[in-house]
Amino acid sequence: MKVLMVLTSHDQLGDTGRKTGFWLEELAAPYYRFRDAGWEITLASPRGGRPPLDPKSNEPESQTDLTRRFEADPAAEAQLDATLRLDSVSADDFDTVFYPGGHGPMWDLAEDTTSIRLIEQTVRSGKAIALVCHAPGALRHTRTPDGAPLVAGRRVTGFTDSEEEAVGLTKVVPFLVEDELVAKGAEFSKAGDWEPYVVTDGLLVTGQNPASSGPAADRLISMVRSLRG
C-alpha cells in the first residue's frame, strides 16, 4: 500500500514571534504504524524540503518512544529532509492520505488550493483519508462535487475549543477547528481534553489531538485493507 503524508510548511505562530509547524508525535506515531504494516510512505509539504517542526512538540513532556525512534532513524530523517512539493504529487498515485497536525496547517494547508483539491479528489475517488488534531481544519474549504461543504452532515472531530483554550492560543490561531467544522455543518464530537478519540464517517477519519494520531492511523489501515478486500 502507498500512503501520502501531508505536512505543513508554515512556521510562524501568528504575530507572537514564536515558531510553529507540524507536531512530531502526529508524524511519528502514524509513520511507524504505516511502516510496520509494510506500507510505502511518501512525505509532502507545500514548499517541499524539510518542513518546520513545532519546537514544543519536541520538549521532554511531549516526547514519546515513537518520537525518539523517529529522531534516531536515519531513513525517516532523510525522508523528512526531502519532502516532495505538494503540487508535484497526485492522489491517483496513492492508496490513502494522512494529514498530521500541529498549528501550522491552520495557516497554509487550510487555504492551499492544491491541498484542498487533493482532499476532494481522494474522497471522490473512493479512497480513505485521515486528518488529526489541527489538520481537520484543512477541510474548511473542501467541497463535494455538488458544491456543498465536504464535512456537512458528517461526523468529525479535531482539536477542541477547550484544548485550544488550555494552550492559550484561542486569540492567536486564524480560526478554531471545532467552531469552523460546526459552522460548515459537521456533526462534531469529542472526548475529554488530551484523551485519544477517533471518529470515522464513510471514507473520512479524524482524530482529536496528538494522542489520537496513532489510533487514527490504525483505523485508516483497517479501512484501506477493508476497501482492498
With cell 504494516, the residue in question is 37
Report pLDDT digits (tens) over 20-79: 999 999 999 999 999 999 999 999 999 999 999 999 999 999 999 999 999 999 999 999
Which pLDDT score is estimated for 128? 97
Class of domain 2-228: alpha beta
Report pLDDT digits (tens) over 154-194: 999 999 999 999 999 999 999 999 999 999 999 999 999 99
Q: Residue 142 carries which DSSP code?
A: -
Alpha-carbon span 90 to 86, nearest angstrom: 8
Burial of 51 per CB tally in 10 Å (0-12, 13-18, 19+): buried
Buried b (16+ CB within 10 A) or exposed e, 86-101: bbebebeebbbbbbbb
Alpha-carbon span 23 to 204, nearest angstrom: 21
Residue 146 CB coordination number (10 Å):
5
Q: Are strands 198-201 and 204-207 parallel, antiparallel or unpaired?
A: antiparallel
157 near 215, Cβ under 8 Å?
A: no
Q: How confident is the model at residue 229 (pLDDT cuts 50, 70, 90)?
A: confident
26 near 133, Cβ under 8 Å?
A: yes
Report pLDDT digits (tens) over 109-150: 999 999 999 999 999 999 999 999 999 999 999 999 999 999
213 near 134, Cβ under 8 Å?
A: no
Alpha helices in 125-212 (DSSP H): 161-166, 177-183
Alpha-carbon span 154 to 104, nearest angstrom: 24
Q: What is the DSSP string of 73-116?
A: -HHHHHHHHTBEEGGG--GGG-SEEEE--SSGGGTTTTT-HHHH
pTM: 0.98
Q: Residue 137 carries which DSSP code?
A: G
Q: How confident is the model at residue 228 (pLDDT cuts 50, 70, 90)?
A: confident
By three-state DSSP, how is residue 156 classified?
A: strand
